[in-house]
Amino acid sequence: MAEPVQTPQAFPTRIFSGIQPSGSLTLGNYLGALKRFAQKQDEGIETLYCVVDLHAVTVWQDPARLRQQTREIAASYIASGVDPKRSILYNQSQVTAHAELGWLLSCVARIGWMYRMTQFKDKSGANAENASLGLLAYPALMAADILSFRTTHVPVGEDQKQHIELARDIAAKFNHDYKTDFFPIPEPLIEGPATRVMSLRDGTKKMSKSDPSDASRINLTDDADTIAKKIRKAKTDAEPLPDTVEGLEGRPDAKNLVNIYAALADLPLAKVMEEFAGAQFGTFKPALADLAVAKLGPITAEMNRLMAEPDEIDAILGRGAERADAIARPIVAQVYDIMGMIRSRQV
């Protein structure tokens, strides 16, 4: 069970998180992010969920494809249980506070902090000089996403921990530099058995929507046959499953599949070990495939239904953006005041 959410300092609890429209979502995005986003909303906490299109263009995106993917991510949020009436659901570029605060915070953050980000190193590869400036600076924009709402908690997967720590450092430096306590220091919420779902082809590598191998991941758009085939072909070792969680140590591929089962079934890992103790993968994999199809099938069907009405998705994003703007605009105006900018334009 997750710990009850504690509000740091004197700020009311507010949750923000985002997903990049840089490809079709995976089972990793679902278990590490989407499923938990809906749970937080259902706990009655104020929740804002964003399709972070400004982040996606840190690497080149085909414009028509970007529009399509933005709608697909919005549909994935809704199909996974995010209710646009109870949560604020929108795309980032429609709320200008993100870009404005992003600039201000990129003047607070230090370049050295950015170079230390492992995701920048991974994504820029051997040719970092040729990466976009945005790819390097993007964690400052991510800090702005969070702080535009004076967010207190950010549910993310394990891979985003370093970026949230950076957002905390940026908030603390801003507060220190301007002798204020304006920004809360946001807490990452990294909970549950699936904070890092691994590749089906390599249990030591994160499942990622931009992995060149489609067999490495389950996409939320995959049909039942494709899901079953990918699980059947998932890399494993030759040993049967152990009877304890400890017995999975040193067996990353087996551990990954068991973790996925536990997360999909909402069962503690120990219970899954009990159920499949001594089982061969020939028994476990079909059980996992059946479970994955049963859980993901209705989500995929709902996504397809929503995607048939792109205007409706755009209208939902527009309404969400208005609500997000109403919160963020006055916060960013106060940041301008704190930093000494004159704001005398009549609006």
Instruction: State the catalytic residues.
Output: 123, 206, 209
Which of residues 209 and 285 has its CB atom nearest to ligand AQP in the complex? 209
Which of residues 299 and 335 has its CB atom nearest to ligand AQP in the complex? 299
Q: Which ranges of the chain does DSSP label H, i.e. alpha helix? A: 27-29, 35-42, 53-56, 63-79, 97-106, 111-115, 118-124, 133-147, 161-177, 224-232, 252-265, 269-276, 281-307, 310-339
Which of residues 49 and 174 has its CB atom nearest to ligand AQP in the complex? 49
From CA 39, how far away is CA 60, in angstroms rounded? 33
Residues lying near ligand AQP in the complex (CB under 6 A) are found at: 19-20, 22-23, 26, 28-29, 32-33, 156-157, 159-160, 194-197, 206-210
Q: What is the three-class DSSP state of 253?
A: helix
Copy the structure tokens of residue 132: 């976009």
From CA 292, how far away is CA 228, in angstroms rounded? 8
CB of 30 to ligand AQP, least distance (A): 8
CB of 60 to ligand AQP, least distance (A): 13
Q: What is the three-class DSSP state of 27?
A: helix
Which of residues 76 and 335 has its CB atom nearest to ligand AQP in the complex? 76
CB of 335 to ligand AQP, least distance (A): 24
Q: What is the three-class DSSP state of 66?
A: helix
- The full DSSP string for 148-216 is TTT-SEEE--GGGHHHHHHHHHHHHHHHHHTT---S--PEEE--STTSSPBPSS-TTSB--TT-S-GGG
The strand pairing partners of 198, in sequence order, are 206
Which of residues 189 and 293 has its CB atom nearest to ligand AQP in the complex? 189
CB of 179 to ligand AQP, least distance (A): 33
CB of 99 to ligand AQP, least distance (A): 17
